Amino acid sequence: MGRRVMLSSVILLASLTARPAMAAKPPVAPVQPAAQPLAVPDGTAVAAPAEPASPPIALPPRLLSTDGVVADRVVAVVNDDVVLLSEVYAFDTYIDEQVAAGPDAAAARAQAEREVVDRILQQRLVAQEVQRLSLEVNDQEIDRNIDDIAQRNGLDRDQLRAEVEKEMTWAAYRAELAKGLQEMKFAQSVLRPRINITEDELRDAFIRMTSDSPQVADVMAIFLSWPVGGDEAAREVVRQKAAKVSAEATAGDFAAVSKQYDEGPFGAVGGEMGKFKPGELVGALDEAVQHTATGAVSAPVETAQGIFLLKVASRAAGDTDFEAMRPKLEEAVFQSRMAEEEERWFQQARRAAAIRILL
């Protein structure tokens, strides 16, 4: 069976790890891998956040007039830039999840819309600052980013383009990558100079990370994606396939089965997903790992992207030596500080900007 890589699974790994610092923000569409990493003070590479690729927008009822005609409108103005309601509903999955979770659907929808508008305003302010600082991204940088993404996923550029064009135009994809690279330059030029990590911060992080000495699980994975635009019947076909693959993976060589069936980034690396402490994977995946015995294969785990089959290859005690953990500590503190500086910058920029919310 040929390995099929959908656009969402090309960058799947970026969305699997839990990121508490961003929990208050509405999620964005899948994150594109950064072309170049940021560097913490000792030179350790840390992946920089990048602009997501927005999925095609299916207009919800709020965007339609009574006669079914599209009735988009401006919901916010930031300086001379406008935000449209259709842009807010590019995040309709997040909004619908918030509505489903709240006791008052109308209030939950209004709150979710405001959160999404707030996130979009932040992106617009960053884009305006990028323009002010002339942090241009040229075609050569975009091409290098594309080659890097293709290489990480075991594809050449033509194969990557073919997968991308199943969901969006190549020009739109390149435009989204350009935005991501601009935001990375913004982080390097504006946010990183504000960060100076002290030894005391590292010691505090060490105490927090080793207080319970949690075990680290070595996790293997097989990912089966939902069909794009598929109905419940199409999803049921994927569930039946997952049951079959699970039986084969349990009885045989998980790595070989992953190589045969995986539709994400795991099959190409023998099913290896990585080593994770409790809480480092997003909810359903973390729960599955914690409730799966060492050496066993989990029950199929359904997520928004598709179905995961996880195997806990081994468990071992986590690092407890400060110097051995220093690179991890620096990365964790750096990412936390970066999130704090991002929020601080946004609040300052928001106070200085001319913003009107019309939602």
Could you tell me the CATH number of the domain that includes residue 274? 3.10.50.40
289/221 same-domain check: yes
* pLDDT tens digits for range 73-98: 999 999 989 999 999 988 888 999 99
The domain of 177 spans 7-196+346-357
Does 339 fall in a domain? no
Give every CB contact of residue 178 below 8 A, 6+ residues apart in sequence. Answer: 137, 142
243/119 same-domain check: no
* pLDDT tens digits for range 294-341: 999 999 999 888 999 999 998 876 666 788 889 999 999 999 999 999
185/257 same-domain check: no
Within 10 angstroms of residue 118's Cβ, the number of other Cβ atoms is 16
Contact 211/204 with Cβ under 8 angstroms?
no
Could you tell me the CATH number of the domain that includes residue 99? 1.10.4030.10
pTM across the whole model: 0.54
pLDDT of 118 strictly over 60: yes
pLDDT at 319: 60
Measured between alpha carbons, how far is residue 205 from residues 191, 209, 217, 219 in Å?
Answer: 21, 6, 21, 25
pLDDT of 164 strictly over 60: yes
